[in-house]
Amino acid sequence: MVSRLTAILSLMTKQIEAAFIFWLPQYRLPVCLALVILAIVCPAASEAASTPRTPVILISIDTLRADHLSAYGYKVLRTPAIDSLTEHGTLFDNASTQVPLTLPSHVSLFTSTYPFSNGVEDNGQALTPNAVTLTTTLKKAGYATSAFIGGFALDRRFGLDQGFDFYDSPFRLHQQESVDLSDLKHPANEVVASAEDWLDRNGQKPFFLFLHLYDLHTPYQPHTQIQTAPGISGYDQELAYVDHSLKGFFTHLREKGIFNRALILFIADHGESLGEHGESTHGYFLYQSTLHVPVIFHWPAGTPPLPSHIDEPVGLVDLAPTVLDFLGLPAVPQFQGSSGLPSSAQHPPQAVYSESRYAHDHYGCDPIRCLRVGHYKYIEAPKPELYDLQTDPHELQNIYSSQRAMGRTLHSELRSFTAGFPSKNAGTSNALSPEASEQLRALGYMPGGSGAGSRAMTGIDPKDRILQYEQTHRAITMAYSGDLNGSVSLLESVLASTPDLPETRNILGIFQQKLGHHEEAAENFRIVLHKDPSNALAHYNLAVSYFNLNQPQNAIKEIDALRALASSSGRALEQLTIPAEELLGTIWLQQKDYPRARAQFEHLLEIAPENFVAQYNLGWMAGLEGNVSDGIQHLKIAVQAQPDNADAHSALGSLYLRQGVLTDAQTQFAEAVRLSPDSAAAHYNLGLTLAKLNNTREAAAEFEKALQSDPNFTRAHEALERLSGQN
């Protein structure tokens, strides 16, 4: 009987390999629609010029309109926690962002430079390494520095982490599928909790803490713990949640004795249009709904009296110089803004500059720029605009035609203003190196085109394509609500009337991929690349479609093109390059070219040491070659990287079973069954392990469950018959 049972178990153990296959992810883009749609070595403490005592806390609320705070006169909702900062504080009534997009705005704030000068004018670009920032300056002065990031747009790969000792941006985008990465965010309570934990360990030393909350960015999430008035908008509900979270944060600061001794700076990076001027969100236009931002300085106890309000227009570019001025630290020569303190020897700029290239880079329009001088605001566009913000704060009456002299004067001042600072072409920090250009040519692409980063003017006013922009974003909402077919139809209708929209066409291809229409998707990506060979997203997606069309060589060509582009972009394209590297390794696996696959996945681990796909498949190949111990080590890391992946638990359990470590095998298979209760293979593998542990009744039950999931599972039938035969 024993020998017969041993033979049965031996046969079952061999059969397990048939269920243990290399892991092939669903190669559909982890969608980063906002892109088409980013270590500095600091001086040692002994090198610091001085060590100021005043802690500095910068709180940035993404997408917050100033006029939705009760401190700025809003009547629909009260924001008591934020308002409390005005007590012994200064509120800037007329602060503006330099660009209404998350990353460029924060780059301007931290570097005190204008977007046309620092080269970061769109989300997804990268700040030049070794930049001089508020953080690097405070670090040099002896501050401990930390950041807690709520939205992917400020992930460390985009370079804003320079100068921070600790930069908490835990976004693992390559593990996500079917997600709009621009909307990937961590809720305020989690971000605040991480900041509080850091303060508990570091709050007694001079520190600079940056807290970034992203909750006001769409899509809005329900927060049942927050009670608001009936009928309040989703935007205001999110604002109430943010204010509630900050109330807890401020309480923690008070309990730790930090609140009254810290300089607390509260700002927003940009506003939200909420339908004004036909724009539902932000980034496209330059109206006050997205440019006007709250700025509140809460001064430490003992600060000599300062004005409670400052009415003179300022920009976010002026805030870093203001902080240094207050702390008594030397001015930074590279900074282009000026201190906003009334007592400062520096004088606030007479003009406030803002820009947006979004409609140009994504919708084929001319870029737009604006200059505010006093209460007049001029917007440079093919159809120029002029507004008197004192009499027309919502910019409903364009007075350019009736006040052409004022318009021409501000136009001239705008040109003089931008000429007064060094200019870096858009995307210069991501510009193609000669080597990358040559690689693209070798692959059959001619670098250049009129895509993002091009300075070509089209003569098309963004106002004339706002409908296409809004329809594209409506289609995105439809797709993520489950109506992919309706979304594709809407995007096709947009392109039928306006075919030269690369972002819309890229998004259409993405949703066609999701429907399995890879021929149509590939054609759209080829159209995008014909006009703009440097469109990284189109290269990646075309590779995905070629892979699904069983054209591996064409897929490899597109991956090589993406690699060439990424070689000039630092970490900024990791959300594309990492899944592209995974895809390349998977192609070699499918072709059974195991040496190339192994080399590819080992290369991937040099870039991303905990990468799930690489660790999983290296584990699988090690097991295939009999290197069970090595396989187990790889698969243990894979399980840690994705603890909710049933395949990883099954694979690890399989190797434990082959090694004879039955209790560990049982644990892994049981977890696989819990995570994937309908998996016939998981039940079958658990049954094998239980049989080896002589738990024949439980083993038989697992084989039965395997057959319930798959009545044609021959091996489970045979296993049951053999167990019955042994009895």
Residue 107's CATH number: 3.40.720.10
DSSP classification of residue 431:
P
pLDDT of residue 319: 97
Question: Picking from 359-373, 426-440, 543-557, which range would have the lowest pLDDT averaged per residue?
Answer: 426-440
300: left (phi over 0), alpha (psi -120 to 50) or beta: beta
- Please give the Cα distance from 21 to 636 (Å, whole number): 17
pLDDT of residue 228: 82
**Burial of 448 per CB tally in 10 Å (0-12, 13-18, 19+):** middle
Q: Which residues pair with 92 in a beta bridge?
A: 295, 310
Task: Pick the last residue of a domain from 536, 556, 574.
Answer: 574
Question: Picking from 69-78, 141-150, 439-448, which range would have the lowest pLDDT averaged per residue?
Answer: 439-448
* pLDDT tens profile 583-594: 999 999 999 999
Quote the number of domains for the chain.
2
Q: What is the pLDDT averaged over residues 498-504?
A: 93
* pLDDT tens profile 322-335: 999 999 999 999 99
In the predicted model, is pLDDT for residue 342 greater than 80? no
Q: Which residues pair with 207 in a beta bridge?
A: 144
DSSP classification of residue 354:
E
- With respect to residue 54, please indicate whether it lies within any of the assigned structural domains: yes
- With respect to residue 464, please indicate whether it lies within any of the assigned structural domains: yes
Mean predicted lDDT score pLDDT of the chain: 87
Give me the helices (H) in 16-101, please.
80-83
- Please give the Cα distance from 462 to 560 (Å, whole number): 34
Say whether both 103 and 248 belong to one domain: yes
Tokens of 113: 């430079």
Model confidence, pTM: 0.83
Q: Which amino acid is at 336?
A: Q
In the predicted model, is pLDDT for residue 155 greater than 50? yes
Task: Pick the last residue of a domain from 388, 418, 448.
Answer: 418
- Please give the Cα distance from 105 to 316 (Å, whole number): 8
Backbone angles phi, psi at 298, to 5 degrees: -105, 115
pLDDT of residue 346: 54
- With respect to residue 475, please indicate whether it lies within any of the assigned structural domains: yes
Q: Which amino acid is at 571?
A: R
Give me the helices (H) in 112-202, please.
115-118, 134-140, 188-202
* pLDDT tens profile 345-371: 555 557 999 999 999 988 999 999 999
Sign of the Cα torsion 401, 404, 406, 412 reads: positive
- With respect to residue 27, please indicate whether it lies within any of the assigned structural domains: no
In the predicted model, is pLDDT for residue 492 greater than 90? yes
Say whether both 400 and 498 belong to one domain: no
In the predicted model, is pLDDT for residue 179 greater than 60? no
Say whether both 90 and 212 belong to one domain: yes
Question: Picking from 74-83, 168-177, 294-303, 435-444, which range would have the lowest pLDDT averaged per residue?
Answer: 435-444
**Burial of 304 per CB tally in 10 Å (0-12, 13-18, 19+):** exposed
- Cβ–Cβ < 8 Å for 451, 360: no
- With respect to residue 315, please indicate whether it lies within any of the assigned structural domains: yes
pLDDT of residue 230: 84
Instruction: Give the whole-number percent of the chain exceeding pLDDT 90.
Output: 73
- With respect to residue 660, please indicate whether it lies within any of the assigned structural domains: no
Instruction: Give the whole-number percent of the chain exceeding pLDDT 70.
Output: 86
pLDDT of residue 575: 81
pLDDT of residue 284: 96
Say whether both 198 and 68 belong to one domain: yes
Q: Which amino acid is at 467?
A: L
Say whether both 335 and 467 belong to one domain: no
pLDDT band at 3 (very low <50, low <70, confident <90, very high): very low
Say whether both 286 and 414 belong to one domain: yes
Say whether both 386 and 450 belong to one domain: no
The angle that helices 612-624 and 574-590 make with each other, rounded to 10 degrees, is: 20
Say whether both 47 and 146 belong to one domain: yes
| Sheet order of strands, 385-388 included | 351-356, 368-373, 376-380, 385-388
Cα of 70 vs its chain's centroid, Å? 30
**DSSP, residue by residue, 377-418:** EEEESSS-EEEETTT-TT-----TTTTHHHHHHHHHHHHHHH
Residue 624: CB partners within 8 Å, gap ≥ 6? Answer: 594
* pLDDT tens profile 74-89: 999 999 999 999 999 9
Say whether both 342 and 476 belong to one domain: no
Q: Which of 164-173, 437-446, 634-643 has the highest mean pLDDT?
A: 634-643
pLDDT of residue 4: 34
pLDDT band at 154 (very low <50, low <70, confident <90, very high): very high
- With respect to residue 81, please indicate whether it lies within any of the assigned structural domains: yes
Say whether both 322 and 469 belong to one domain: no
Say whether both 473 and 566 belong to one domain: yes
pLDDT of residue 47: 35
- Its domain, for residue 326, covers 33-175+191-418
Q: What is the pLDDT averaged over residues 527-554?
A: 94
Preceding amide of 219 cis, omega within 30: yes
Question: Picking from 27-41, 542-556, 562-576, 637-651, which range would have the lowest pLDDT averaged per residue?
Answer: 27-41
Residue 478's CATH number: 1.25.40.10
Task: Pick the last residue of a domain from 418, 449, 472.
Answer: 418
In terms of DSSP bridges, do strands 314-315 and 309-310 run parallel, antiparallel, or are they unpaired?
Answer: unpaired
Residue 689: CB partners within 8 Å, gap ≥ 6? Answer: 653, 657, 662, 665, 666, 669, 699
Say whether both 381 and 441 belong to one domain: no
In terms of DSSP bridges, do strands 56-61 and 207-213 run parallel, antiparallel, or are they unpaired?
Answer: parallel
Cα of 188 vs its chain's centroid, Å? 16
- With respect to residue 440, please indicate whether it lies within any of the assigned structural domains: yes
